[in-house]
Structure 1
Amino acid sequence: MSSTHRFRALSLTALVAASLLAGTAMAQAAEKITIMVGGFEKQIYLPAKLAEGLGYFKEEGIDVELLNEAAGVDAENQLLAGAVQGVVGFYDHCVDLQAKGKFVESVVQFSQAPGEVELVSAKNPEIKSFADLKGKSLGVTGLGSSTNFLTLYMASKAGLKAGEITTIPVGAGGTFIAAMQQGQIQAGMTTEPTISRMVKTGEASVLVDLRTLDQTRAALGGPYPAASLYMEKAWVDAHKEEVQKLANAFVKTLAFINSHSAAEIAEKMPKDFYVGDKEGYIKALDAGKGMFTPDGVMPEDGPKTVLAVLSEFSKNVKGKQIDLSKTYTTEFVKAAKTN
C-alpha cells in the first residue's frame, strides 16, 4: 500500500472513530435527567439524595441532576412546564393531574405512609384532638399541596365542617417553625427533621402521627402511598431505557434503607441535613424509616386511599372518573436490577 493510500485509510479510520465517539457523547448527553425534589432536607424524600450519595446513578451510567423545590405542588408545575423530567414528590399529584387531563405516573413508589405529623403549638395546650382545631389556623406546605388535602380530610373525619379551619401555606423547615413561633399558625403538618426539632425544644407536640403504616391505617383507613418518583407518561414511554436505569438506582437505594441502620444511612447524607443535631436526625430516621417500601412497588389498595382523600377535597378530582391503573406503573421496579 502506498503512503498516500495508507494516509487515506488512517484518515478514514480516524474519521469513523471520531464519529463513534461523537455518537457516544451524544448518547451520554441524552441521558442527562433533571429531577425536582419537593424539599431536599425532608426525610420523606431521603431516597433521592441517598441514591446520589451512594453513587447508584453513576453505576447505572446516567447523569442525574437533583434540584430543590420547597413545595411539591411547585415541583409539579416545573414538570408540566418541561423544565424537569421527573419529580420526587407525593403520588397524589398523579391522581390530581389525571383529573385535569394530564397523564403522570409514579414509576418508583418510595413510601407507603405520608411521613407527616400534625404538630400543635405549646402555646395552645387546650388542643387535645383534631376536633379542637375548630377556628384555628393550620400550616400546610402550600395550598393545593398534599399536606393541605390531608389536613382537610382529617378535619372532616373529626367532624369539622368546611370553613371551620383555615389552612395557611407556610412551607417547611425554618419557615414552618417561624410561623408557629410567631403565632401565625396554632398547628400544622410537617415532616422530619422539623418535627423532632420542635418537639425537642418543647415548642410543639404531636397531635396526629402519620409516620408509620399502622398509624396511617388508623388515621386514613389504609396505606397512603406518598413519596415517589413521578414522571409524565409520554416521557416514560419514549425513554424506557433511562427510566429503567433510574428504577434500578432507586430500588437499590430502598433495599439499602431496608437493610441498614438509621445511623449508617445518615452517614451517607449531606451533613447540613442534620441541622446541627445529628443524634436527633438519626433518632427520627430510626422511628420513621418503616414508611419506605422495600422494593419501590405500589402498596396494594394504596391508590384507593389517596383517591378517597382527594375525592372529598380536591376540586379537580371531586366527581371525576379516575383510572387509577394509569397513575402508576410497576413495570420498571419489578424489572429492576438490584446488584
Structure 2
Amino acid sequence: MRTLTRVSAVAVAGALALTTLTACGSDSSSGGASDGKNVKVKIMVGGLDKVIYLPAMLTERLGYFKDEGVSVQLLTEPAGVQAETALVSGDVQGTVGFYDHTLDLQVKGKQVESVVQFSQAPGEVEIVSNQAAGDIKSPKDFKGKKLGVTGIGSSTDFLTKYLAVNSDVQTSQFTPVAVGAGQTFISALQQGSIQGGMTTDPTVATILDKKLGKILIDMRTPEGSKQALGGLYPSSSLYMQTEWVNSHKETVQKLANAFVRTLKWMSTHSADEIAAKMPADYAQGGGKALYAQAIKSTLPMFTTDGVMPADGPATVERVLKAFNPNLKNAEVDLDKTFTTEFVKNAG
C-alpha cells in the first residue's frame, strides 16, 4: 500500500525476493545469514517510510551496517502484522515492528524477542476527520464508527481496541478498517470511508498541513503514552526468533551495535539533520520542511540506548489483556519477550 514510487519499488523487490527464499526460520542457512564475515541478513520493516521505524533506513544511510561488516537487506510491508508473518515463516531473519507482537506470538507458541528497543512510546496518533470531529471527542464516541488501522491484527488495531475497551466501548461496537498508511489512509479519511483512525508521521503531518483532520489522542511522546495507556509503551523494535538469536549471537551483536549507534546519533542531531539523511521521497509529497517537522514531533518516542524501559513490558501486557481473548487468561513470560544482552554490550 505504499504510495511512493521508490517505496513501491522496494516493496515489489522485497516481494520478489521473498518468493525465492526457503522457509524454516531457525535454519542458519535460511536467507544466507551466518556468523562471521560477509554476514547477510534480511529485515522486514512494517513501513520503511514511517518515522516510527526511521532507525532502520537511517542506520543504512549512515553506513553503520557496513561498518559492522553485516550486509542488511531492508524490505518493507505496509503493516506490522505482515512483517511479523514474514519473520515467523522464516523468510527474513529480523523484523522492525512493534514489541507487542512478541507477547501475542508467545501465547501462540512462537518464541520471538526484541533485541533492540527503539522506542518507549507508540508514536501513534488517533486522528478524526473534520466532518466527524464534532461526533468523536473521546474514545467513548468510537461506538458505531469506522476507524482506520494499518491492518487487522496490527499494533494500530491493538491500540485502537484498547482505547475503546478502556472507555467502555466493546470491540464489536465499532469497525476497524485496514487502510494502510500514507495516501491510502488519507484518501479513506477524505472519502469518508473512515471517520477517524490511528496512524503515524509523516501521515499525521500531511493531514494536519492539508487541514483534513484533527488530533484526538497523541501518543508520540512518553507523556502522551502515559496519559493514554497508563505507562510507557515500548513499540518499535528489532525483534527476531529466539532460536535464531541464540544461534547467531555474533551477527545479532553487530546489528545491535549498528542500531544503538544510530539511536545515539539521533539523540545528538536535530530533526532537520536527520531528515537530510533520509530518502527525499519519504516526505510523502509534503516537502522537506514538513518532513522535518514530522520527525521533530516523533523524536521524543525514541530511546537513546536501545534498552527496554523497565516497566514497559508490563504496560504492554496489561493493554493487550484488556481486549485480546488469546492473552486474557494466558500466562506470559515477559522475560522471554526481550533481551538487553546485546544493547548493553554495544559500544
Query: TM-score over 0.5 for the alignment?
Result: yes
Look up the match of 2:313.
303
Look up the match of 1:120.
128
Superposition deviation, residue 160 in structure 1: 1.4
Look up the match of 2:344.
334
Superposition deviation, residue 252 in structure 1: 0.2
TM-score (norm 2): 0.88
SS class of match (1:108): strand
TM-score (norm 1): 0.90
- Structure 2 Cα separation of the partners of residues 163 and 316 of structure 1: 16
SS class of match (1:317): helix
Q: Residue type of the partner of 1:175? A: T
String of CA shifts for 1:63-119, please: whole Å, max 9, x gaps.
000001111101111111110000000000111000011100000000000000000
String of CA shifts for 1:162-211, please: whole Å, max 9, x gaps.
32211111111111111111111000000000001011111111000000
Larger mean CA deviation between 173-182 and 212-221 belongs to 173-182
SS class of match (1:334): helix
SS class of match (2:282): helix
SS class of match (1:163): helix
Kept after mapping to 1: 8 A contact 2:46/2:97? yes
Kept after mapping to 1: 8 A contact 2:65/2:71? yes
Superposition deviation, residue 132 in structure 1: 2.0
Matched, 1:292 2:302: yes
Q: Residue type of the partner of 2:74? A: L
Identity of paired residues, percent? 57
Which of 64, 68, 84 pairs up with 1:56? 64
- Structure 1 Cα separation of the partners of residues 318 and 45 of structure 2: 25
- Structure 2 Cα separation of the partners of residues 104 and 129 of structure 1: 34
Superposition deviation, residue 315 in structure 1: 3.0
SS class of match (2:172): coil
Matched, 1:145 2:151: no
What 5-or-longer segments of structure 2 have no aligned partner? Answer: 1-33
Look up the match of 2:40.
32
Kept after mapping to 1: 8 A contact 2:35/2:248? no
Larger mean CA deviation between 52-61 and 179-188 belongs to 179-188
1:179 to 1:238, Cα distance in 2 relative to 1, 3 A: same
SS class of match (1:35): strand
Q: How many residues align?
A: 312
1:160 to 1:250, Cα distance in 2 relative to 1, 3 A: same
Which of 266, 276, 296 pairs up with 2:275? 266
Look up the match of 2:230.
221
Look up the match of 1:107.
115
Superposition deviation, residue 129 in structure 1: 1.7
Q: Residue type of the partner of 1:172? A: A
Structural mapping, 1:150-189, within 5 Å: 150-189=159-198
Larger mean CA deviation between 193-202 and 313-322 belongs to 313-322
Q: Residue type of the partner of 2:90? A: G
Look up the match of 2:334.
324
Structure 1 segments of 4 or more deviating over 3 A?
25-29
Kept after mapping to 1: 8 A contact 2:111/2:242? yes
1:333 to 1:27, Cα distance in 2 relative to 1, 3 A: closer
Matched, 1:87 2:95: yes
Kept after mapping to 1: 8 A contact 2:36/2:251? no
RMSD: 1.3
- Structure 1 Cα separation of the partners of residues 313 and 105 of structure 2: 14
SS class of match (2:57): helix
- Structure 1 Cα separation of the partners of residues 196 and 70 of structure 2: 42
Which of 215, 220, 223 pairs up with 1:211? 220
1:273 to 1:162, Cα distance in 2 relative to 1, 3 A: closer
What 5-or-longer segments of structure 1 have no aligned partner? Answer: 1-24
SS class of match (1:189): strand
Look up the match of 1:78.
86
Superposition deviation, residue 27 in structure 1: 5.0
Q: Residue type of the partner of 1:187? A: G
String of CA shifts for 1:15-36, please: whole Å, max 9, x gaps.
xxxxxxxxxx99534x100000
Superposition deviation, residue 312 in structure 1: 2.0
Q: Residue type of the partner of 1:241? A: E
- Structure 2 Cα separation of the partners of residues 274 and 151 of structure 1: 25
Larger mean CA deviation between 268-277 and 36-45 belongs to 268-277
Superposition deviation, residue 130 in structure 1: 1.8
Look up the match of 2:261.
252
